[in-house]
Amino acid sequence: MAAASLAGNMTRGAKAAVAISLVVIVGVAAAFMFLVTTFLFHFSGGQSRMEPVVNYGALAVVAATILVAIVSWRARSPAEAVKYTAIATGVLWVAALIGEWGFSFTLGAG
């Protein structure tokens, strides 16, 4: 209940600033980590079979972080959405790296 009243007290400009910070968190992390995973798993090993894995992995992480942002914004508050989205972004990209690393052995080793 307190979170709902906090969100209700935010001005339109404050909500816009929070929304922009969410876009920056998700967007900058997505761009950087997409380049990192592309280099690590697609270009450096010459594994063209990893391209769909890298692309779909990046899309899955971005979609999941957007979902976390939406759910936490609605359930808690816009300010809490920034915190939870930042945490989820880091955790999900680490999970994507580990998953893509596992796929690289399956698709490219041999």
Secondary element (H or E) of residue 77: none
Q: In the chain, what percentage of residues exceed pLDDT 70?
A: 86
Cα 51 to Cα 23: distance, rounded to the nearest angstrom: 25
Residue-wise pLDDT for 12-48, tens only, equals 888 889 989 999 999 999 999 999 988 887 776 566 7
Secondary element (H or E) of residue 14: helix 12-37
The residue to which tokens 């759910």 are assigned: 71
Residue 1 has pLDDT above 50, yes or no: no
pTM confidence score: 0.81
Residue-wise pLDDT for 58-109, tens only, equals 999 999 999 999 999 999 888 899 999 999 999 999 999 999 888 887 776 5
pLDDT value at position 92? 96
- Greater model confidence, 1 or 58: 58
How do the domains of the chain map onto residue ranges?
2-108
